[in-house]
Structure 1
Amino acid sequence: LPDNITTDHLSPSNAILLDSAAGEYLAKMGLPEEDFNSYATHRGDHLTAQRATFANPKLFNEMVRNEDGSVKQGSLARIEPEGKVTRMWEAIETYMERKQPLIIVAGADYGQGSSRDWAAKGVRLAGVEAIVAEGFERIHRTNLVGMGVLPLEFKPGTDRKTLGLDGSETYDVLGTPTPQATLTLVVTRANGVRLEVPVTCRLDTAEEVSIYEAGGVLQRFADDFFDAALA
């Protein structure tokens, strides 16, 4: 993803259209189109809200290109390793069925804009376990930690472009997450070439490490509750 990805890219609040993944789902459930309303009104309905993840038609996913090489606009993704371009929700469904953990690679100022819980919830429910970006908006980074998603930051001078990433790679993260630790992002290209890229762990405090290791703030709360009950 490019620079300046907003929470509206991650989880839009606009009206739900019939030809969207959420609209198709609501129609299948028997809801008349005039009652679809907006994504914002379905925040308590995870089956609809999930389908809002990256559903913004103004999204630019750099894995999807036009014939001239420019990035194609839309809620689109490329399923790997097949290379098949689909609507974002179909790609998410495919990876969920495969139980394939995912990573998001992004530019600067990831997650800016209004604070939306589903901007972090949606990507976590899609199977995203880590996000590596050039920088994070403060509140969204905190929300990611609360959902059990690991925020990683490229070191200065390194980004998706200098590394020549195109989305066909597989990724792993090596090292023990501690506050501001340097971890290793292992990038394996489709041709087998392996890169080891130092990245900064953006768990900024010991408390955030504890929340992340529990799997998120709700899981941490449950752990504390049961520990107290057994004490």
Structure 2
Amino acid sequence: NLGFGIVAFACTTCNGMSGALDPVIQQEVIDRDLYATAVLSGNRNFDGRIHPYAKQAFLASPPLVIAYAIAGTIRFDIEKDVLGIDKDGNSVTLKDIWPTDEEIDAVIKTSVKPEQFRKVYEPMFDIKVEYGSHVNPQYDWRPQSTYIRRPPYWEGALAGERTMKGMRPLAVLGDNITTDHLSPSNAIMLDSAAGAYLHKMGLPEEDFNSYATHRGDHLTAQRATFANPKLFNEMVQENGIVRQGSLARIEPEGQVTRMWEAIETYMERKQPLIIIAGADYGQGSSRDWAAKGVRLAGVEVIVAEGFERIHRTNLVGMGVLPLEFVKGENRHTYEINGTETYDVVGTPKPGAMLSVVMTRLDGEQVSIAVKCRLDTAEECSIYEAGGVLQRFAQDFLASEVAS
């Protein structure tokens, strides 16, 4: 009666799989340039995660999600303001409709039963899938999957030597860059780089699914790198104002493009890249592709004011060197605008002070003191090997020889 559509359950929202908006509603959001928001009971309130057109999201318990939907706005004092008027003309507030523990327990007792779970999950174990020329009719396997593909972790950027010389900035970023900025998990839109690729592969738009579900196919997942529509890359400005979106500027041409086109261009040139960022780089739910994507793009070094703990470890695991500005210094201190090239001078060791030599367009060179954020000898060993996969391969081959 309220107009809700049940699209899925459980991890749906966290993975950005809440489904498409009603086309009429989406078009109104676009036409009126509305600042639409979401209210969710999961714990993934990243910008654009619920849907690219829900620009901000707020966390709430399930009953509060319903209450805010009834209110129709977040500009609402949920505890005091009136949600509606009953049939007798009385004001209805949150406390009038809030369910008691007893009411919730009664619903669970009558509506959540073990046989419901057994009916769904037990048949799953009877499915037999054969590979090769035998295809199980249970699934419509595509000849060329966009969900799983042999990964390129032993070739390309990851197999090449990291010179840390002549690096160009892929992005110059501010504070609080999350892993959703680095590699979003929400639904794939047709006008995105990943959407264009899936369309070219013959998938209808309704089957695009989310970035999160395509992590096993690097050709799709790579195109998610910095694909968040809420990204602010300070290299891309108009009249002194940073433009919002998945944008980059190819240097030395100064050409502004979508982020993926810039990455492709630099990959073809075998151009080593660097990222300059502010504080708390990589915060949020740390995911592997937030580190994989930038490394496969050719990023060798990230210089930031600070790193989220787990994401810093993930970067080391992919062979990316995390470096930290000294306290009180940042990208503004050195007037970094993205036209420069960068060289790292020194040997990466735990806690070592290194120099990043920045060369400006006019040839001026500036030495930036940075702290190496390889924090342990083990991390140094992983980094020197090229990453955790390469380190594992070395250890495996060494054990084979020893045996």
TM-score by length of 2: 0.57
Aligned partner letter, 2:237: R
Deviations for 1:93-129, whole angstroms, at most 9, x for unmatched residues? 0000000000000000000000111000000000000
Deviations for 1:27-68, whole angstroms, at most 9, x for unmatched residues? 00011110001111111111000000000000000000012x
Pairing partner for 1:130 from 301, 305, 313: 301
Q: Which residue of 1 aligns with 2:196?
A: 24
Q: Which residue of 2 aligns with 1:168?
A: 339
Is 1:45 the counterpart of 2:217 in the alignment?
Answer: yes
Aligned partner letter, 2:331: R
Offset of residue 85 of structure 1: 0.2
Q: Which residue of 1 aligns with 2:274?
A: 103
Is 1:116 the counterpart of 2:257 in the alignment?
Answer: no
Offset of residue 197 of structure 1: 1.0
Offset of residue 227 of structure 1: 1.1
Tell me the secondary structure at the aligned position of residue 148 of structure 1. coil
Deviations for 1:139-190, whole angstroms, at most 9, x for unmatched residues? 0000000000000000011110010000000001010111010011010001
Pairing partner for 2:390 from 219, 222, 231: 219
Q: Which residue of 2 aligns with 1:33?
A: 205
Offset of residue 229 of structure 1: 1.3
> Pairwise CA RMSD of aligned residues?
0.5
Q: Which residue of 2 aligns with 1:6?
A: 178
Tell me the secondary structure at the aligned position of residue 223 of structure 2. helix
Tell me the secondary structure at the aligned position of residue 380 of structure 2. helix
Aligned partner letter, 2:178: T
Q: Which residue of 2 aligns with 1:66?
A: 238
Distance, in Å, in 2 between the alignment partners of 1:102 and 1:23 is 25
Distance, in Å, in 1 between the alignment partners of 2:397 and 2:271 is 30
Aligned partner letter, 1:47: L
Tell me the secondary structure at the aligned position of residue 230 of structure 1. helix
Q: Which residue of 1 aligns with 2:326?
A: 155
Distance, in Å, in 2 between the alignment partners of 1:89 and 1:160 is 24
Pairing partner for 1:191 from 355, 362, 367: 362
Distance, in Å, in 1 between the alignment partners of 2:188 and 2:319 is 28
Distance, in Å, in 1 between the alignment partners of 2:286 and 2:277 is 18
Distance, in Å, in 2 between the alignment partners of 1:22 and 1:190 is 33
Tell me the secondary structure at the aligned position of residue 196 of structure 1. strand
Tell me the secondary structure at the aligned position of residue 206 of structure 2. helix
Distance, in Å, in 2 between the alignment partners of 1:64 and 1:93 is 18
Uncovered stretches (5+) of structure 1, i.e. residues with no partner: none
Distance, in Å, in 2 between the alignment partners of 1:3 and 1:15 is 25
Tell me the secondary structure at the aligned position of residue 141 of structure 1. helix
Distance, in Å, in 2 between the alignment partners of 1:191 and 1:98 is 23
Larger RCO of the pair (alpha carbons < 8 Å, separation 6+): 1
* Structure 1 residue ranges (4+ consecutive) displaced by more than 2 angstroms after TM superposition: none
Q: Which residue of 2 aligns with 1:15?
A: 187
Tell me the secondary structure at the aligned position of residue 12 of structure 1. coil
Q: Which residue of 1 aligns with 2:72?
A: none
Between Structure 1 and Structure 2, the one with more strand by share is 1
Aligned partner letter, 1:16: I
Uncovered stretches (5+) of structure 2, i.e. residues with no partner: 1-172
Offset of residue 5 of structure 1: 0.3
TM-score by length of 1: 0.99
Distance, in Å, in 1 between the alignment partners of 2:332 and 2:309 is 24
Q: Which has the larger radius of gyration?
A: 2
Aligned length: 230
